[in-house]
Amino acid sequence: MQKKWLLGAVVGGVLAITVGVYQYVNYRAAAILAEQITVINESYAVMATQGLMPGVALSYENIKANYWRNDYQIAGLAINVAGLGVLAEVASIQVTGFKPGTLAETGRVEIKDVKLAKGMQLLLPPALAELSNEIALSTHYNYQYHAAKGELLLEQHIQLGEQFHLHYQLTLQQMQPLWQFATDLTKMDAETQQNYSQSPAYTAALNTALEQGQLQQGSVTLTNQGFLQKLQPILASTEQTAQLSGIKTQLEQYLSTANTLPESINMALLAFIADPKVLQMRFQLSEPASFAQLKDEAFLAELQTAEQIIHFINLQLTVNP
């Protein structure tokens, strides 16, 4: 009986210690993220005093962290602007694949329900204010890095409620220098990282790391489920935005009279404007172009016309499949 009791006590003690360590590590991970936000706010305050930006501060309701699953969530985020109050509110931001001090090869960021604050909606024309109150912006962003190939896959999905979706995918090659740059950055503590990101050295190092990267292929898909049709009369009803309501007519007139685009592309765009449901654009470069090339004047001189650019990227359009 005494041995069983002793064994039970040992097992119970081990479990208690394990749970305690589990909770403590999660607590520390959440605290590190809170420290990062504090550093960002301090940096914003310094830039505001220097006249580089308005006074902006981030606040939040709570932070949840699961260090063991690389899963972090910030709930009730608010963007505050000095003299105006709360500019926008975010229901939650969830980051998966993040671990302080390391850079995971796969990661995801999900931002849910971004809305203008009630006070900011009062500054909009009534119809636009009502629309902004009805529809929240959400987005999720994924990346995956293949170290053996130096290939980086990027994907993002942006949506306005259920009425409007924008989705893109990009495949980038020769991304080892950029990945090393990002890895070194994540090893810095929050304050060092924030100070470095505002320095000329950061911009120079980032540009150098990006130059060797190559754009290979990608796609962009726009899905409209009544949002554009709802937006147009709202813009037309307000003096401040009335000019914007004429964009559809202007595009139709331009595409109908201009001869700068191949006929297949021209007809596809006209079809989408007439019935805007789904527009999908795919491209695949016959030879991947580096970001350094895309800034080179001699290289760009060979891509002067829209037809040359479309041929170079092998652009394909699909409308309302």
Which pair of structure tokens corresponds to residue 224?
Answer: 């409209």
**Furthest-apart CA pair in the chain: how many Å?**
95
The pLDDT tens digits for 227-266 are: 988 888 888 887 777 776 778 888 888 888 877 788 888 8
pLDDT band at residue 21 using 50, 70 and 90 as cut-offs = very low
CA–CA gap between residue 249 and residue 234 (Å, rounded): 16
Contact 75, 91 (CB under 8 A): yes
Fill in the DSSP letter of residue 16.
Answer: H
**Which of 38-71 are b and which e, b meaning 16 or more Cβ less than 10 Å from the residue's Cβ?**
ebbeebbeeebeeeeeeebbeebeebebebeebb
Percent of the chain past pLDDT 90, that is, above it, reads 24
pLDDT value at residue 225: 93
Look up the pTM and report it.
Answer: 0.80
| pLDDT higher than 50, residue 5 | no
The DSSP annotation for 264-295 comes to: HHHHHHHHHHHS-SEEEEEEEEEEEEETTGGG
| pLDDT higher than 80, residue 191 | no
pLDDT value at residue 6: 38
Contact 106, 95 (CB under 8 A): no
pLDDT value at residue 29: 61
pLDDT value at residue 305: 83
pLDDT band at residue 276 using 50, 70 and 90 as cut-offs = very high
The pLDDT tens digits for 114-167 are: 998 888 888 888 888 888 888 899 999 999 999 999 999 999 999 998 899 999
User: Greater confidence, 11 or 88?
Assistant: 88
pLDDT band at residue 280 using 50, 70 and 90 as cut-offs = very high
pLDDT value at residue 259: 75
CA–CA gap between residue 128 and residue 236 (Å, rounded): 11
| pLDDT higher than 50, residue 197 | yes
Q: Cβ-count burial of 94 within 10 angstroms (0-12 exposed, 13-18 middle, 19+ buried)? A: middle
The pLDDT tens digits for 26-74 are: 545 677 778 878 888 888 888 888 887 788 888 889 988 776 567 788 8
pLDDT band at residue 8 using 50, 70 and 90 as cut-offs = very low
Average model confidence (pLDDT) for the chain?
A: 82
Which pair of structure tokens corresponds to residue 126?
Answer: 């009534």
pLDDT value at residue 10: 35
